[in-house]
A and B are shown apart, each in its own frame.
Chain A
């Protein structure tokens, strides 16, 4: 079956440190991946995406790494800030009309 999963349900980091959130996916046919951030009481918000023909993509303070060999995705957040506290989801889109979400990782930023 299809599944996208995360290794760590909760990650606690010190403000200013870097955060790494991991995700494993099982469908080798997946060709597009997205990281979403969900703050309390809100809907998921797009952070960054990556296509399967890439292994790295950088945004503002965020980097996504894709390792297709082991079907692993990670989100790196540089200089983590209190506003980064949220639940982070990886999502896999291998068809136009279906986005499959992982189980989520809660990021807690300690002051």
Chain B
């Protein structure tokens, strides 16, 4: 069983389109995240949610709107896609509390053309 699963794995779309990436975790964790990994492999946090509530928004453009229908799901919707949005997006989850590791999904490679 996949612990953190994201769909789709690959996404190719044109500039200006709107797209969504879905994420689900079956670990029973309270906290979920979205990270963006650029072409130089740098991983940067975008959002974190705890029990469906937004905790951190790392100055991400408001074209990016996360949604957490329940604590096992955290979806990412992106409006008006731009070339610079091309990256690999990772969903992750962790138990609540300090000093806990995050478990990552396999990533969604988004290419905007």
- The total of chain A residues at the interface (CB under 8 A) is 24
A103 partner residues in chain B, CB cutoff 8 A: 40-42
B33 close to A99 (CB less than 8 A): yes
Q: With the chains together, A49 CA to B104 CA distance in Å?
A: 16
Interface residues of A in 53-111 (CB under 8 A from B): 87, 89, 93, 95-101, 103-104
Q: Which residue of B lies closest to A106 (CB)?
A: B41
- CB < 8 Å: which of A31, A45, A51 contacts B104? A45
**B-contact 0/1 string along A42-55, CB 8 Å cutoff:** 11111001010000
- A43 near B107 with CB under 8 A, answer yes
With A43-B90, A96-B97 as given contacts, are A89 and B43 in contact (CB-CB < 8 Å)? yes
Tell me, in angstroms, the Cα distance from A98 to B98 when the chains sit together: 10
- Kindly identify which residue among A42, A89, A97 contacts B48, using a CB–CB cutoff of 8 Å: A97
Complex Cα distance, B42 from A100, in Å, reads: 10
Give the interface size bracket for B toward A.
Answer: 20 to 34
With A42-B106, A43-B106 in contact, is A34–B101 under 8 Å at CB?
Answer: yes
* Interface: B99 (CB within 8 A): yes
Most chain A CB inside 10 Å of its own CB: which residue of B4, B48, B102: B102
Of all chain B residues, which has the CB nearest A51?
Answer: B99
> Most chain-B Cβ atoms within 10 A of its Cβ — which of A49, A51, A93, A96?
A96
The reply to whether the CB of B105 lies closer than 8 angstroms to some CB of chain A is yes
Q: Which residues on the B side are within 8 Å of A43 (C-beta)?
A: 4, 90, 92, 104-107
A residues less than 8 Å from B99 (CB atoms):
31-32, 49, 51, 93
**A95 cross-chain contacts in B, Cβ below 8 A:** 98
B44 close to A97 (CB less than 8 A): no
Can you report 14 A-B residue pairs in the complex whose CB atoms are below 8 A from each other?
A43-B4, A43-B90, A44-B104, A49-B99, A93-B98, A93-B99, A95-B98, A96-B98, A97-B31, A97-B33, A98-B56, A101-B42, A101-B44, A103-B42
Extra A-B contacts (13), CB below 8 Å, given A31-B99, A99-B102: A38-B41, A41-B107, A43-B90, A44-B90, A87-B41, A89-B43, A96-B98, A97-B31, A97-B55, A98-B48, A98-B56, A99-B33, A101-B35
